[in-house]
Amino acid sequence: MENQRNLILAMVLMGLMLVGWDMGLRYYYPPVPKRAPVAGAPVAGVPAAAPGTSAAPNREGGLQAPGDVALEKQDLAQALAAGHRIPVDAPGLKGSINLMGGLIDDLTLARHRDRLEKGSPQVRMFSPAGTPAQHYAQIGWLGQNGVAAPTGDTMWQAEGARLTPSTPVTLRWTNATGQTFAIRYAIDANYKISATQSVTNAGPAPVSVKPFALVNRTSKTASLNTWNIHSGPISANDGTVDFVVSYKCDGGIYIISSCTDLAESKIVQRPGQPNWIGFTDIYWLSALAPAPGSKAQSTFRSLGDSMFRAELVWPATQVMPGQSSNQSVSILAGAKENNVLEAYEAQGITNLSLSIDWGWFRWFEKPIFWLLDSLFRAVHNFGLAIILLTVIVRGMMFPVAQRQFASMAAMRAIQPKLKVIQERFKDDKAQQQQEIMALYKAEGVNPLAGCLPIFLQIPIFFALYKVLTLTIEMRHQPFALWIKDLSAPDPLHVLNLFGLLPFTPPEFLGIGILAILLGVTMWAQFKLQPAAMDPAQQQVMSLMPWMMMFVMAPFAAGLLIYWITSNVLTIAQQKYLYSKHPQLKAQASKDQLDIDRVAAREKKAVQDQKAAGTPSKPKTR
């Protein structure tokens, strides 16, 4: 009866876990809707677009409310058709610079598409002021003591017809008192725009100006911020990357980590020497990086109506008559491609690659990513690279597994002696434990040796999970057959006959082919393991593979491919090691027979008890 109660309790808990898992995934990982191309973010002091229906963010970010998506498409077309723009044409970035205000407010990523479908538009990073997805960068000055400085309404004059890696563009504007302000933009082949701002004083008296650079955006387009992957304000000061500031600290994800609520605080200044400051999504980054040794102050601001700003402000500088003052800053707007970020680090932008939220296990995750990326470059298929990575990892752990099986075999061999000790000292637990430890020492057995491979696999699996979740290198990468995007869940579901029926199952019932293969291989792996001595425990373990099939179904296909491959290799490894340790297999078979006999006796006892305790039915006339 006790075993039956335990089994029923375990099944109830598994059911609650599955339902709770689905609810949690829908809360923290809302499904990505099919949508029109999206833009980036908001602008300080510029009227916001009409709010659309609120919608939770998803993993990739972008506008989610249908009203906002439709309005963005309309407003974007109008803003770009207004003219007075300088085209931006580089291998990594496309778009234009707005001569009204000198804003960089129209950028798309040439190497990344918004969706997987053929003909999908490029991912939009920056969008003009006034659109629902407004997101832009601005270089400027604050005039001191009445000096007229350019504003967001200033119409700049351009020197250069197109911004390309070989043709920089300079914007100029002169005020009424003889000060000429200039911004020289240069772009590289990836995602960096270098800006040099200068002031030339042709007036009769000294002037004082305070240079600034800023990035404005709306949190409407932000990707999902979770406990293990940061999305929101981000900065590096004195070489330390800070993930503490968030748009809002809610959703219950900050129980184990600190959080500064920018919407509530309004202004958050970052202490120390600024290396860079901006906003991150899971895959995208917009940031400002001052020149090394810069005296700028880095600050985050909340502007209300879901709009935020990251800014660098330099101390006021005095420009004497006939003199000039220069200041340089880099604008970064693009995908967080690890090799590109590391190249920018080599150019002097400290720890920029840590804008990828590797977490505590960075020292372990980055080598795994390097190996995975190297395999991908060799075989040109990310799914195959994951399989090869799994083979390498399992091969490295094979000696540990051999020791594990040897330890298990030794433990099986001393089972009769253990039972004698347990029976002899059943009333003296302390003495029993001393005798057992003495037996372990005499036989050279380590009871914890079998746990080592499990502990080693946990950080490996977590590291691979983070790599597959964080790195844009796997985004939209196909594998084979129906797997077109390894960063997304298996698109085929059994319940709707693989898309033949016109409905989408709930996530906890969205079982695909990969999830089924995971369950089957895990079941086969468990069948090869030594049987649990408790019948109820054995029944619970027999249900575990099918529970994990439901739990893992919504995860990225790449992660399931890793786990399935690992299970298959583990099965082959176990069969080989059983052939090397036949006594372990024989003992496992004997244990299983013992379990079956115990279960049969308990079942018969329950039946006899029910038969003996059943009252006879009263006779009726």
- Three-state DSSP at 297 gives strand
Same domain, 430 and 575: yes
Report the number of distinct structural domains present in the chain: 2
User: Is residue 39 a contact partner of residue 131, using CB atoms and an 8 Å limit?
Assistant: yes
Which residue from 517, 515, 521 is spatially nearest to 491, judged by alpha carbons?
Answer: 515
- For residue 108, report the phi and psi dihedrals to the nearest 5 degrees: -125, 160
Residue 393: name the closest of 378, 376, 371 by CA. 371
Same domain membership, residue 310 and residue 215: yes
pLDDT along the chain (621 residues), means of 10: 48 51 46 39 37 59 86 91 93 96 96 87 94 95 93 94 96 95 97 97 94 96 86 94 89 64 93 95 96 92 94 95 95 96 96 91 87 93 92 83 70 76 83 85 72 68 80 88 87 77 70 89 79 58 80 85 90 80 64 66 73 55 40
User: 122 forms bridges with which residues in the sheet?
Assistant: 113
Inside any domain, residue 360: no
Residue 527 covered by a domain: yes
Question: Can you give the pTM of this predicted structure?
Answer: 0.80
Q: Per the domain annotation, does 281 fall within a domain?
A: no
Strands 207-218, 274-280: pairing kind: unpaired
* Alpha carbon of residue 126 to chain centroid: 22
**Placement of tokens 């000696």 in the chain:** 399
Q: Which residues contact 410 (CB under 8 A, 6 or more apart)?
A: 443, 444, 445
The amino acid at 498: F
Domain boundary among 303, 335, 367: 335
In this structure, the answer to whether residues 427 and 320 fall within a common structural domain is no
Domain encompassing residue 63: 35-222+287-335
Main-chain phi, psi angles of 340, to 5 degrees: -70, -45
Indicate whether 465 and 559 sit together in one domain. yes
| Beta bridge pairs of residue 597 | none
Backbone angles phi, psi at 412, to 5 degrees: -65, -35
How far are the Cα atoms of 187, 233, 440, 564 from residue 553, in angstroms, in the given order?
43, 31, 42, 12
**Same domain, yes or no: 448 and 509:** yes
Any domain includes 209? yes
Residue from 41, 61, 346 nearest 188 by CA: 346
Q: Of 424, 444, 446, 445, nearest to 435 (Cα)?
A: 424
User: Is the residue at 114 inside a domain?
Assistant: yes
User: Is the backbone of residue 163 left (phi > 0), alpha (psi -120 to 50) or beta?
Assistant: beta
Cβ 181 vs Cβ 155: under 8 Å: no
Choose among 397, 392, 412, 399: nearest CA to 529.
412
Contact present, 512 and 529 (Cβ < 8 Å): no
103: which 2 tokens? Answer: 């804003």
Cα distances (Å, whole numbers) of residue 149 to 173, 251, 323: 9, 43, 17
Within this chain, do residues 330 and 393 fall inside the same structural domain, yes or no? no
Residue 320 shares a structural domain with residue 392: no
Element housing 584 (H / E): helix 582-613
CB distance 308 to 217 below 8 Å: yes
Q: How far apart are CA 470 and CA 338, in angstroms?
A: 10
- Residue at 220: amino acid letter: K
**Of 78, 53, 79, 57, the residue nearest 66 (C-alpha):** 53
Q: Where are the alpha helices (DSSP H) in 319-414?
A: 338-346, 362-379, 382-413
**Domain co-membership, 160 together with 301:** yes
Q: If you write DSSP's letter for every residue of 81-127 in order, what string do you get?
A: HT--EEEEE-SSEEEEEETBTTEEEEEEEEEEESSSSTTPPEEEEEB
Residues 309 and 433 both lie in one domain: no
Residue 315 placed within a domain: yes
**DSSP code string of 410-470:** HHHHTHHHHHHHHHHTTT-HHHHHHHHHHHHHHHT--TTGGGHHHHHHHHHHHHHHHHHHH
Distance CA 449, CA 445 (A): 8
Measured CA to CA in angstroms, residue 75 lies from 39, 79, 155, 215, 290 at distances of: 11, 6, 21, 20, 32
Residue 258 domain flag: no
Shared domain check, 411 and 310: no
Output the domain CATH number for residue 191.
2.70.98.90
328 and 399: one domain?
no
Whether residue 88 is found in the same domain as residue 189: yes
Residue 515 maps to a domain: yes
CA distance 445 to 423: 20
CB atoms within 10 A of CB 66: 14
